[in-house]
Structure 1
Amino acid sequence: MTNTLIFVDLASDDPAAAGAFYAEVFGWENDARPEGIYHRMVPGGFFKNKDGSDSQIGNLHLGIFDAGNARPHPEPAGVEPRTLSTTGRKPRIWVLISDDDSADRILATAQTLGATILWRNHYWKEFNGYNHAFVDPWGNEIVLWGKAGENPQIPADFTRE
C-alpha cells in the first residue's frame, strides 16, 4: 500500500478572510476549526466513476492556516517563520472546474475578491485539458483545470503546448 495524500494547506495572514474567499470563489464549505486560526475548506461530494456516478472516494479538503502561528505544532506559540512567502516559486493547487461552473465565473469572482489573474485560455495537450490560473490575495497560486474531452476543438484564442 502506498502513502496517501490526504490534505494540502495554504498559508494566510488572515485565515477567516481566506476561508470566506474560497467559499465564495468555489462554493466550498468554510469549516473554521477554530475561527481565524485554521479553516478547513470542504468541497463536498465524491470523485466520479467513469460512468459519472459517485465513487466511494470523497473529494480532498484544503486547509488554510495562520502563517503567524501554523497549527498543529508542539510549541503553543509556534516558531519562525511567521510571514507569508512572497518570492520565488511555491506549490500550486490544481482545482478541477465542475461541469456546472465555468472558468470565467471563477476567475471573475476571484479577481473581484482581490486575486490576480496569471493567465487564461491555455490548452495542455499532454494531459488534454484547458487551464487558467490566478494568485489569491495571500500569494497562493491556483490553477484551474477544465476537461477537454475526446477529440477536443481548441478555441482559436487559446495558447497551446
Structure 2
Amino acid sequence: MTTPNTLIFVDLASDDPAAAGKFYNEVFGWRDDDRPHGVFHRMVPGGNFLNSDGSESQIGNLHLGIFDAANARPHPEAAGVEPRTLAVGGRKARIWILVGDGQSHEDILQRAVDRGASILWRNHYWETFNGFNHAFADPWGNEIILWVKAGENPVIPSDYTRE
C-alpha cells in the first residue's frame, strides 16, 4: 500500500541560526531545538492540529527548520557547497503562520519588529480563503505572513485592503 508524500518541514536560511532560533522562540513562543547549536535549529510550535470539535488530533503541528546559509545541512559534502550566502532581492519562499485563538497579530508583529523584523504590509482581507493577513520580513529577509481567521460573516475594517 502506498502512502501520500507528506510535507514534514520547511527550512529558512539564516547567516546566524542561533539568533534566528531565538527570534522565532521570542516572537511565536516556539521551542528552539538546536541540533546542533548554530548549525541547524528545529522550531517546534507544540500542540497538534485540531479536530473539527476543537479537540487535539494525533497529528502534530508542522515544524520549521533554520539552517546556516554558509553550510546547509544535511549534505553529503561535509564542507557544504555554494552558494554560501542568503538570497537577496527577488522572490523567496513565503511562510504562512496561523495566528492562534486568543493570540494577537499586533502583538506578534510588535515582537518581531522589536527583534529586527520589518513590516512588509498589514491589514488585508483575502475573501477567497476568508482570512485577514499581515506580513513581515525577519532579520534574514524571509517573508512571514500572519493569517487570522475571519470567521463566519466577517466584518472587514474600512482601512483593510481586499481581494
Q: Same fold (TM over 0.5)?
A: yes
2:27 alignment partner, SS class: helix
Residue in structure 2 matched with residue 43 of structure 1 by the alignment: 45
| Distance in 1 (alpha carbons) for counterparts of 2:158 and 2:55 | 33
| Distance in 1 (alpha carbons) for counterparts of 2:111 and 2:14 | 19
| 1:29 aligns with one of 27, 31, 55 | 31
Q: When the two structures are superposed, what TM-score results if normalisation uses the length of structure 1?
A: 0.99
Residue in structure 1 matched with residue 18 of structure 2 by the alignment: 16
Deviation at 1:101, TM superposition (A): 1.1
| 2:67 aligns with one of 54, 61, 65 | 65
Residue in structure 1 matched with residue 101 of structure 2 by the alignment: 99
Deviation at 1:160, TM superposition (A): 0.6
Deviation at 1:81, TM superposition (A): 0.2
Per mean C-alpha deviation after superposition, the further-off stretch among 150-159 and 133-142 is 150-159
Deviation at 1:2, TM superposition (A): 2.1
| Distance in 2 (alpha carbons) for counterparts of 1:150 and 1:99 | 15
| Pair 1:143 & 2:130 matched | no
| 2:119 aligns with one of 117, 120, 128 | 117
Q: Between Structure 1 and Structure 2, how many residues are aligned?
A: 161
Give the superposed CA RMSD.
0.6
| Distance in 2 (alpha carbons) for counterparts of 1:90 and 1:37 | 21
Offset from partner CA, 1:80-104 (integer Å, 9 cap, x none): 0000001100110000001121110
1:40 alignment partner, SS class: strand
Residue in structure 2 matched with residue 75 of structure 1 by the alignment: 77
| Distance in 2 (alpha carbons) for counterparts of 1:136 and 1:70 | 19
Q: Which runs of 4+ in 1 moved over 2 A?
A: none
Deviation at 1:67, TM superposition (A): 0.2
| Distance in 1 (alpha carbons) for counterparts of 2:41 and 2:31 | 10
Q: In the alignment, residue 41 of structure 1 is paired with which amino acid?
A: M
Unaligned runs of 5+ in 1: none
Identity of aligned residues (%): 73
| Distance in 2 (alpha carbons) for counterparts of 1:130 and 1:50 | 21
| 2:154 aligns with one of 138, 152, 158 | 152
Q: When the two structures are superposed, what TM-score results if normalisation uses the length of structure 2?
A: 0.97
